Amino acid sequence: MMRSLVLAALLAAATAGAADLVAVDVGHSHSKSGATSAGGRPEFEFNLALARVVGDALTQDGHEVRLIGADGEMDVLTERTRAAAGADFFLSIHHDSVQPQYLPQAGRFAGYSLFVSRKNVDPAASLACATRVGDALLAAGLKPSLHHAEPIAGENRPLADAQRGIYWFDDLVVLKTATQPALLFEAGVIVNPQQEALLRQPATRTLLAQALATGLHQCGIGGRQPEAK
């Protein structure tokens, strides 16, 4: 009996101390490169650069990281969520644009956005982690963009939390097909020349990555206990 109790205690301790696994998805690909920045650069280039810094920040925070789509060849969205099987959390990295009619005014759009899906396997956990990530981004001095809530074609996304810049996007493929809680992060609006210049700076990428790592750590993914706010 005593031996069984000791073994159970050791197993529980090992499980509690195990690093959680975060799948970091590099949005878009070489052939489907996403938005084009004000300076003519493909969004995929921005996504890859930031995803690598995010992966490093998560690793330093004690997480295991699986980088998905980094070779630029993953065009089928469901391949991304299949590649994330077994992860504790799915984080998709993107950079934002605006609707075509607003491109001449792109300089007035700025800020990050967070998307979660009510069709995800665990929408409550997805929203909880988005909330903590939003807190960390705000604490870092960053501001959300609310332009995706505008009632026009291509937008009209319902806000889950306006203060933190969290939207519901129920049918976003990588969010609704992920087999773990999932979040899509739009780092900023690259069709805005000033935002593009800022988002290309290593210091900005580090700031964003650290905020993401802090938020994910605080939401208690992978068996971690959430930290008190």
Parent domain of 51 = 19-223
Rg of the chain (C-alpha set):
18
Task: Tell me the pLDDT tens digit for each residue of 95-113.
Answer: 999 999 999 999 999 999 9
Judge whether residue 118 has pLDDT over 80. yes
**176 C-beta neighbours (distance < 10 Å), count:** 17
* pLDDT score, position 14: 34
Residues in Cβ contact with 206 at an 8 Å cutoff, skipping those fewer than 6 apart: 53, 57
Please state at what angle helix 43-60 crosses helix 202-218, rounded to 10 degrees. 50
Residue 30 lies in a domain: yes
Statement: the pTM of the whole predicted model exceeds 0.85: yes
Q: Is the pLDDT of residue 91 over 90?
A: yes
**Domain for residue 12, yes or no?**
no
13 lies in a domain? no
- Tell me whether residue 3 is in a domain: no
How many domains is the chain built from? 1
Cβ atoms of residues 183 and 126 within 8 Å: yes
**Rounded Cα gap, residues 152 and 156, in angstroms:** 6
Q: What is the CATH number of the domain that holds 131?
A: 3.40.630.40
The pLDDT score that the predictor gives to residue 35 is 97
> Which percentage of the chain shows pLDDT scores above 70?
88
Per cent of the chain over pLDDT 90 is 87
